[in-house]
Structure 1
């Protein structure tokens, strides 16, 4: 699974057909019209991936700890850690980080308390990195010996808060995220079956044909993860489920554009212009090729 396979091609085709309405829309910002024949193609390619022997993993974080997981379709496996954890961890943790990215409180609150995907607490036993949990790091942080970590700047216990202001945030503010734990060999997943499973559910929700309902497909995944099943499913809850399953995996922007929420207001942004669903074409490219025309709005 470190090389492209038929399953990888099927998964990419499913993703392309799922997003076809976005790529071919009269206006980049929508509205998007999802054709039934395209959604049927998504279902078809997702089932072809499953026929290659992929299945849902019972232990969620096992997916990100071994390249031999049942879910991994295509992965870059280097065999050595690549320091991705440093992008989010506090500099007083082990391993240290540059105290960077945090998630939003309203996204964290989309998880049920009993959803294992929200994370697992550390079990410090004296071995290296044993003081570091998986998933969302919230509240008091501990070192490998199980002692409270002290913030070297203010000499207070290092306890990550739920809220993080856009400007002027303290070093301990914001929930941090670890999906690829430093104790594991370095790898990065490009395609996995959990995404394929939810693509199939979304395609059925948008009119594709399958012998299961979209809700049944989603709850099949939630059951495998140890989460309580949903009672109903609509576009909003489908997007939420993709967020819970696929956070920190580089898919959110594409998902939000497809669901029409990318430019919607959120906690730190009241309004975003619709044209920003596209990036600007770099000036160097425009200067080099007179046939290119800058995207509208830039």
Structure 2
């Protein structure tokens, strides 16, 4: 059975990607930083993994693919941000290149790499010049450049540039994840939903569809050395999603906008083109938002009841 190594396997996207890989007959081994526990399905890494320790695991497990999903937008300082988003990725790439049988490497990028849209239609394309505005976006773009350089040197690397995944398990660090948790914690009589400005438009995608597209992309030939937007190609206003969320909640929710609450981006519109993804036979449809929101809310309410 072919083996896939996965970093960030316990994260939001990681859980869905692991399920998708398993469904396709791969044996999944989780790489976990800072862990001291090792079993058949997991390999511990040091807090700051080196290429040599990762290479040893690749060789021992005879990995065919490495999915590098680990990363953060919430680091305490710049050094921690670059350790998570750049140095770890570089160690993965160096390890893969040094392995006895170099595996494919899939790097997860971010829409934050683009910065403000440069096209009149407000759609971001892989051929656009990237000008990220945040330290997070800059660090993810640095990861992309390292990946493309490794590809030029002969390693099979593909970058999946992820837009805005939503679904059951969305972390509280995301706007929608935070809003769902607030409503899930309200009594049956309702309560106040506190948000910042909801004027932004984003390319939201179902995380399960995103995971499927990433795994299917990794199994294609002739995709190495390229960046692929993983997006639906359509924007939705955050205000509209919040209105739907309040509607499906079934309780009296008062919406209160607080100027002190701010998101992580000052960019109003973030929408990607999925033309390149579709050119290789892959497509991500616009989510059934009502269904997704109902599932997210039901999941969080179940957690609240158990607590």
TM-score normalised according to structure 2 size: 0.24
Structure scoring higher RCO (CA < 8 A, sep ≥ 6) equals 1
- Pick the structure with greater CA Rg: 1
User: Which structure has more helix as a fraction of its residues?
Assistant: 2
User: Which structure has more strand as a fraction of its residues?
Assistant: 2
TM-score normalised according to structure 1 size: 0.25
